[in-house]
Amino acid sequence: MKNVILYYYNLNNINITPYKEKVLVKSNKDIFWFEKVNNLDEVKLQYELTKDLDDYYDFVINKEKSIFTRYKDSYYVLLKVKDNNKNYFNRIINPLEVDSKEEISSWVDLWIKKCDFIEYQMNHIINKYSVVDESIDYYIGLIEVAIAYLSYNEKNKEVKKYLVHKRIDKKNFYNPLNVKIDLKERDLAGYLKYLFLENVYTEENVSNAIQRANLNYDASIRLFSRMLFPSHYLDVYDRVIADEIGQDELKKVVLRSNEYELFLKMIFKILNKKNEMPYIHFL
């Protein structure tokens, strides 16, 4: 791989360190990520969305004038890391509105498909993963509640599109491969889940984040629906099913299920102060 990077990019004195499907590249004082990509159309869009933004890592163009480099029947991109000390929270509260012809996927449709696919998977992996067997019905139930709750968002349909993130992670926030076009509440929900997963949340910092977002009724419904949707479980579940990690990682999530319900209850209480929200019985 080192020879490929040397051949395609004008870098000197490089050292590489593999990290699964990407490689850390150091060249003199510069740092890069050489990352494997699968959906080339998605990456082209991510390039167009971020190429003129100072905050995000730069795509490095190779000697063939392309952002893509082929290596062992796969495609990679080279991203130049920036030393960015900007407060990423401002991007979460005020994401960049974009003018794009790209359609935003319906959250309900995506969540229904995810639920159906899990039920299909369970027919093939029953009794293979004990933690999954013991927990999956509960989290399917959360998906169904999230779908039902989103139906309350009927007063004003959101039509604006924003540059947001697949997942909120402070270390990966300015990686352009992490961006997508969606509704703005996606990032705030991801940020609140990040606080929970890192166990750095307090009622004060959660309340401050929500208040700064200044959500109306429909935005509050969308935010709380995304909080109900258990992406924090499903991300780990997918990796367990793919045999990338062991069940112990999923067990850590399951053991915090009661804590997460209390977290949801706290968020509901904060949202309900400004907008009277439909009540959920189990909270």
* Mean of pLDDT values over 21-29: 90
Q: Give me the pLDDT at residue 19, please.
A: 85
Structure tokens at 114: 């995810």
pLDDT level of residue 250 (50, 70, 90 thresholds): very high
Question: What mean pLDDT, rounded, does the chain reach?
Answer: 93
Cα 260 to Cα 253: distance, rounded to the nearest angstrom: 9
Q: Give me the pLDDT at residue 185, please.
A: 96
pLDDT level of residue 255 (50, 70, 90 thresholds): very high
What does the pLDDT look like over 261-276, one tens digit per residue?
999 999 999 999 999 9
Residue with tokens 């993963």: 129
> Is pLDDT at 198 greater than 90 in this prediction?
yes
Q: Are 235 and 115 in contact (CB under 8 A)?
A: no
What does the pLDDT look like over 119-167, one tens digit per residue?
999 999 988 999 999 999 999 999 999 999 999 886 556 678 999 999 9
* All structural domains of the chain: 2-80 (3.30.200.20), 88-274 (3.90.1200.10)
Least confident of 79-93, 110-124, 247-261: 79-93
HSE on the CB side for 229, CA within 13 Å? 24
